[in-house]
Structure 1
Amino acid sequence: MDFEEAADAVYAAPAADFIATRNELAKRLKADGDPLAATRLKALRKPTVAAWIANLLARRLPDELDDLLALGDEFREATADLDGERLRELTPKRHQLLDKLAKEAARLAADEGQKISADVGQKLRETLDAALVDPAAGDAVREGRLSSALRHVGFGVVDENGEPSNVTPLTDERRKAARDRRKAQQAEEQAKGSAAEQKQREAEQEEAEEREREAAKAEARQAFEDAVAAAQEAEARVEDLDTQLDNAREALAEAQALVHRVGAELDEARREAREAQKESREARKRYNRL
Structure 2
Amino acid sequence: MDFEEAADAVYAAPAADFIATRNELAKQLKAAGDPLGSTRLKALRKPTVAAWIANLVARTLPDELDDLLALGDEFREATADLDGERLRELTPRRHQLLDQLAKEAARLAGDAGQKLSPDVGQKLRETLDAALVDPAAGDAVREGRLSSALRHVGFGVVDENGEPSNVTPLTDDRRQAAQDRRAARQAEEAAEEQGATEQEEREQQEREEREQAAKAEAKRAFEDAVAAAQDAEAKVEELDKQLDDARDALSEAQALVHQLGTDLDEARRTAREAQKHSREARKHYNRL
TM-score, with normalisation over the residues of structure 1?
0.53
In the alignment, is the contact (CA less than 8 A) between 1:55 and 1:145 conserved in 2?
A: yes
**Where does residue 145 of structure 1 map in the other structure?**
145
Q: Displacement, 1:154?
A: 6.8
Question: CA–CA distance in 1 between the matches of 2:3 and 2:58?
Answer: 20
**Residue by residue, what CA displacement relative to the aligned partner does 1:214-243 show, whole Å, maximum 9, x if unpaired?**
xx9xxxxxxxxxxxxxxxxxxxxxxxxxxx
In the alignment, is the contact (CA less than 8 A) between 1:78 and 1:87 conserved in 2?
A: yes
Pairwise mapping of residues 4-15 of structure 1 onto structure 2 (< 5 A)?
Answer: 4-15=4-15
**Where does residue 25 of structure 1 map in the other structure?**
25
**Residue by residue, what CA displacement relative to the aligned partner does 1:16-36 show, whole Å, maximum 9, x if unpaired?**
000000000000000011111
Closer/same/farther in 2, CA of residues 155 and 89 from structure 1, 3 Å limit = farther
**Residue by residue, what CA displacement relative to the aligned partner does 1:25-79 show, whole Å, maximum 9, x if unpaired?**
0000000111111000000000000000000000000000010001000000000
Q: Secondary structure at the match of 2:151?
A: coil
Pairwise mapping of residues 1-290 of structure 1 onto structure 2 (< 5 A)?
Answer: 1-153=1-153
**Residue by residue, what CA displacement relative to the aligned partner does 1:117-148 show, whole Å, maximum 9, x if unpaired?**
11000000000000000000000000000000
Percent of pairs with identical residues:
92
Closer/same/farther in 2, CA of residues 143 and 99 from structure 1, 3 Å limit = same
Closer/same/farther in 2, CA of residues 154 and 69 from structure 1, 3 Å limit = farther
Q: Report runs of 4+ in structure 1 exceeding 4 Å deviation.
A: none
Question: CA–CA distance in 2 between the matches of 1:51 and 1:103?
Answer: 16
Unaligned segments of structure 1, at least 5 residues: 157-215, 217-290
Q: Displacement, 1:153?
A: 3.1
Q: Secondary structure at the match of 1:137?
A: helix
> AA paired with 1:29?
L
Q: Secondary structure at the match of 1:45?
A: coil
Closer/same/farther in 2, CA of residues 133 and 35 from structure 1, 3 Å limit = same
Q: Secondary structure at the match of 1:6?
A: helix
> AA paired with 1:70?
A
> AA paired with 1:123?
K
Q: Secondary structure at the match of 1:152?
A: strand
**Residue by residue, what CA displacement relative to the aligned partner does 1:144-174 show, whole Å, maximum 9, x if unpaired?**
0000000013799xxxxxxxxxxxxxxxxxx
> AA paired with 1:152?
H
**Residue by residue, what CA displacement relative to the aligned partner does 1:163-208 show, whole Å, maximum 9, x if unpaired?**
xxxxxxxxxxxxxxxxxxxxxxxxxxxxxxxxxxxxxxxxxxxxxx
Q: May I ask how many residue pairs the two structures share in their alignment?
A: 157
Higher Cα Rg, which structure: 2
**Residue by residue, what CA displacement relative to the aligned partner does 1:219-275 show, whole Å, maximum 9, x if unpaired?**
xxxxxxxxxxxxxxxxxxxxxxxxxxxxxxxxxxxxxxxxxxxxxxxxxxxxxxxxx
Q: Which has the higher contact order (CA 8 A, sep 6+)?
A: 1
In the alignment, is the contact (CA less than 8 A) between 1:76 and 1:155 conserved in 2?
A: no
Unaligned segments of structure 2, at least 5 residues: 157-167, 169-288
> AA paired with 1:73?
D
In the alignment, is the contact (CA less than 8 A) between 1:30 and 1:37 conserved in 2?
A: yes
Alignment root-mean-square deviation, CA: 1.6
Moved more, 145-154 or 37-46: 145-154
In the alignment, is the contact (CA less than 8 A) between 1:18 and 1:46 conserved in 2?
A: yes
Question: CA–CA distance in 2 between the matches of 1:94 and 1:14?
Answer: 30
> AA paired with 2:81?
D
Q: Secondary structure at the match of 2:77?
A: helix
